[in-house]
Amino acid sequence: MPVRLTWTKAARDDLLDIYEAIARDQQATAERIFDRIEAKVALLGTQPRMGVRRRDIRPALRMLVEAPYLILYRTEPDTDEGPLQGVEIVRVVDGRRNLTALF
């Protein structure tokens, strides 16, 4: 059964910033990247634990890659087994950034 997906304001803002920065010069590319990120996030609805844990950044954080971007998210509850209630997308950032500086 799919879990509920939610986005933080920061994550939505990140996605919009990525789109706008690319669209200034390449509208079609911006749309393609936006769609790829949204499709990857949609997979979390049925495969919420598919991301790699990133306890080095934050204890409950998981990460999915949609190169060159990283989708940082957490599950509710933060467990490796059993049913989940939801997934919250925390940030969507360029993978070349200093991730620990985000938090």
Q: Could you report the per-residue pLDDT of 30-86, keeping only the tens digit for each?
A: 999 999 999 999 999 999 999 999 999 999 999 999 999 999 999 999 999 999 999
CA atoms within 13 A on the CB side of 1: 6
Token pair in block for residue 72 = 């940082």
pLDDT at residue 99, as a whole number: 87
Beta bridge partners of 51: none
pLDDT at residue 101, as a whole number: 86
More confident: 1 or 12: 12
Structural domains of the chain in order of their starting residue, each with its CATH number: 4-102 (3.30.2310.20)
pLDDT at residue 100, as a whole number: 85
Strands 86-94, 4-7: pairing is parallel
